[in-house]
Structure 1
Amino acid sequence: MRTFHGITELTAAVGAHVGYSNWHEVTQSQVNTFADATGDHQWIHVDAEKAAQGPFGTTIAHGYLTLSLVPMLVSEIYRVDGVKMAVNYGSNKVRFPAPVPVGSKVRAGVELLSVAPVAGGQLVTAKVVIEREGGDKPVCVAETVALVVA
């Protein structure tokens, strides 16, 4: 994990790739729980028998489940000391170029794009790329924005 000591040090890293998270397995239990939480019970996610005959040959994670892993994965990559808090502010762009078959392992990489002052703090924009172990394309590419309050 990379530690930045304050906003000034974080700002100095803009344009840099700051690292990768650990690999995390996406389980059917996790997919089912996400389906229950969101009401999205599409068969490609929750019906293993039907999904085995479908286009992916197995159940796959919801795209938004993959996106929801971003805070956990990024927390393994870097942190900023000397700030009061950081909260999700949103995303400028999100894409899901490839599926995440259940049982796959995923990890994230982060590139810092900008740190910009706003009322109440700094907006930190990062490009987060989630890849699947053994995959040839990313499974999620998101430009995320966090509000960091010093």
Structure 2
Amino acid sequence: MTRVTETALPETLAEIRDEFLELAEPERLQLLLEYSQELPAVPPEYDGHPEMCERVAECQSPVYIVVDVDEDGIVAMHATAPAEAPTTRGFASILVQGISGLTADEVLAIPDDFPQTIGLMRAVSPLRIAGMTGMLMRAKRQVRAKRV
């Protein structure tokens, strides 16, 4: 059965979602931890400059994101999240890895409920899912503001 939200999901995010859904629930948390360890470092121009990034207020941990859109409309998402907050850091990593390299239109077409579709609703608190949703919404807003 195909859900409407899946039709607009870019391949990168669909693969990440499927990777989670193929696992039993307890193993999904381990995968999220692995993603937390794979969060790419922010580029040097943003490193140490949180004022150049946007704080994600929906996250209890200090998470900052910034999205760049180049002249060809290709998006690069960057995020910082503390190592002591592996769940939040994992969510940031999923979005950074899943969004970077997409076109602005592809990012804007990502269903707003993507965080609810990766199979972690029972494994993590609703507040944490809301944090990931906040990251996605802020990334989409920045793309809208910065696309050429």
Shorter-chain TM-score range: under 0.3
State the structure with more CA Rg. 1
Q: Which has the higher strand share?
A: 1
TM-score, with structure 2 as normaliser: 0.25
